[in-house]
Structure 1
């Protein structure tokens, strides 16, 4: 009974859904930590973004993206693109902000956060690509061909 339920759950989720679910949970918890008490290095590293809105707003943006990613974890491949975008956008934004923070001199150690954030987004893209729906295109046979 339990094994059958797990098999049905895995059949619905799969690797693609698991990647979205884990990203979603991660972004929700990370966003919550940003709203409660952001780390000093994070504040310095993304200083370029804090000119637009304060850290609490960015925290809620991470939470929102996490919720979207988690909800779309059970969507069928091809219909889960909002979830994939939500899983990729925050870490890509953070990677860009840290890169700009390092280049502008607001944080001498910001460069160390560019690859970890960028890599997470890249891994989501890889999983999405490898698990994309295969389109079956019928072969068109013209008159006179066999």
Structure 2
């Protein structure tokens, strides 16, 4: 079941994200960041356990980012990631946003959802504030993808 995250989900979200961050597959998020942004986060819950998460970060009047998409490894391949991203796209559409982007290592996953690869230089400089925290900056090897709504 997909739902908006609750305060009680924050530690489970943090644990899930940190697994992927330790593997270098996403930026780490502090527990404080999760609490501060809890309204932007969706979770996929199975039998009372958070097994997937994603957030929609609104960047500007017509632009949002899908970020921190993670699904527990044992739930991989069940369409949970797709459902989480679709929830973000639905919300972005309801806000009247025209474009959603993501930075990813999973190009094929996002292209199956209708995203297309773009140059990172097409994105506003404002989005790079998180990149400054990354050990890979400025030699980022993530791929930028975007979808028009």
Say which structure is richer in strand.
2
TM-score normalised by the chain length of structure 1: 0.29
Structure of higher CA gyration radius? 1
**RCO higher in structure (CA 8 A, sep ≥6):** 1
- Looking at secondary structure, tell me which structure has more helix per residue: 1
